[in-house]
């Protein structure tokens, strides 16, 4: 079973009617059998929801951890995941082939001492995401060649077999809230010997990552850096 795992602040009815993910489910269901692990009206860390889905999944389930503001444009999703998970243990649509000490975003280099802004890590990125869902806001972000083995993945879309996650003991860290959970998950997966990679799967992400440098983001950054780079 292909199971989509998501959390939303919306009610269940509002999620199905108005969110990008909810609106694309009927179409996706025409081409593959879908399960949905939905945490609606959610205020808990994403990690708690995601870990519950891992624990509840069957051995043959493929789990897709995806944000509620994502439109899955690729109606051949099941086949894409079948092919991608034959090559990698954890899949994403965008990522970085390397990880550097004190890196705080999958697409950025670490900031130099005394600097608040960090340059993009061009030349090491992989994948593509279509951004924006409103008139005049659409932009296709091409990061680099895909498929490709990577060390870090964008948490907007992560896929893995439940059996591989259960067997490796890899889980998400609730201490990180909404931020840095994806980087932490990737580092944990690599440490457990799992292979991470990007795969060409068409999605549209409504958000452009505007929560970076908020107080919640800075709080989670301190927890993440202390955990991995102290």
Classified as helix, coil or strand, 220 is helix
Per-residue pLDDT band for 60 (boundaries 50, 70, 90) equals: very high
Q: What is the mean pLDDT of residues 33-59?
A: 96
pLDDT level of residue 46 (50, 70, 90 thresholds): very high
Q: What is the pLDDT of residue 98?
A: 97
pLDDT of 136 above 60: no
Host domain of residue 72: 2-229
Please write the tens of the pLDDT for every residue from 157-179: 999 999 999 999 999 999 998 89
Determine the pLDDT at residue 138.
Answer: 78
Beta-ladder partners of 35: 3
Query: Do 146 and 128 form a contact (C-beta atoms < 8 A)?
Result: yes
**How deeply is 67 buried, as exposed, middle or buried, from its count of CB atoms within 10 A (0-12, 13-18, 19+)?**
buried
What is the 3 state secondary structure string of 29-72?
CCCCCEEEEEECCCCCCHHHHHHHHHHHCCCCCEEEEECCCEEE
Number of domains comprising the chain: 1
pLDDT band at 45 (very low <50, low <70, confident <90, very high): very high
Q: What percent of the chain has pLDDT over 70?
A: 94
Mean pLDDT, the chain, whole residue set: 93
Q: Once rounded to an integer, what is the mean pLDDT over residues 180-192?
A: 97
The pLDDT of residue 135 is above 80: no
pLDDT of residue 175: 93
- For residues 165 and 91, the answer to whether their CB atoms sit within 8 Å is no
Q: Which of 148, 141, 38, 142 is nearest to 92 (CA)?
A: 148
Cβ 32 vs Cβ 81: under 8 Å:
no
**pLDDT at 173 (0 to 100):** 96
Report which of 101, 78, 84 is spatially closest to residue 227, judged by C-alpha positions. 101
**pLDDT reported for residue 115:** 58
Q: State the pLDDT confidence band at 214, using cuts at 50, 70 and 90.
A: confident
The pLDDT of residue 114 is above 60: no
CATH classification of the domain holding 25: 3.90.550.10
Q: Locate 129 and state its tokens.
A: 């995401």
For residue 134, the model assigns a pLDDT of: 61
């Amino acid at each position: 079973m292909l199971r989509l795992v998501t959390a939303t602040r919306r009610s269940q009815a509002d999620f199905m009617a108005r969110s990008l993910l909810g609106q694309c489910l009927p179409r996706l269901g025409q081409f593959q059998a879908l399960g949905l692990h939905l945490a609606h009206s959610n205020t808990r860390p994403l990690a708690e929801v995601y870990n519950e889905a891992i624990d509840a999944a069957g051995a043959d389930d493929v789990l897709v951890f995806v944000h509620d503001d994502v439109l899955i444009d690729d109606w051949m999703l099941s086949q894409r995941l079948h092919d991608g998970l034959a090559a990698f243990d954890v899949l994403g649509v965008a990522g970085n082939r390397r990880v550097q000490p004190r890196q705080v975003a999958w697409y950025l280099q670490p900031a130099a001492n005394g600097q608040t802004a960090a340059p993009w890590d061009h030349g090491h990125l992989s994948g593509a995401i279509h951004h924006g869902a409103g008139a005049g806001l659409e932009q296709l972000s091409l990061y680099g060649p895909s498929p490709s083995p990577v060390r870090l993945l964008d948490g907007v879309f992560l896929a893995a077999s439940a059996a591989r996650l259960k067997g490796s003991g890899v889980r998400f860290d609730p201490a990180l809230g909404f931020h840095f959970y994806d980087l932490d998950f990737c580092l944990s997966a690599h440490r457990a010997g799992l292979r991470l990679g990007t795969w060409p799967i068409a999605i549209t992400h409504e958000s452009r990552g505007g929560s970076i440098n908020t107080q919640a983001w800075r709080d989670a950054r301190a927890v993440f850096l202390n955990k991995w780079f102290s």
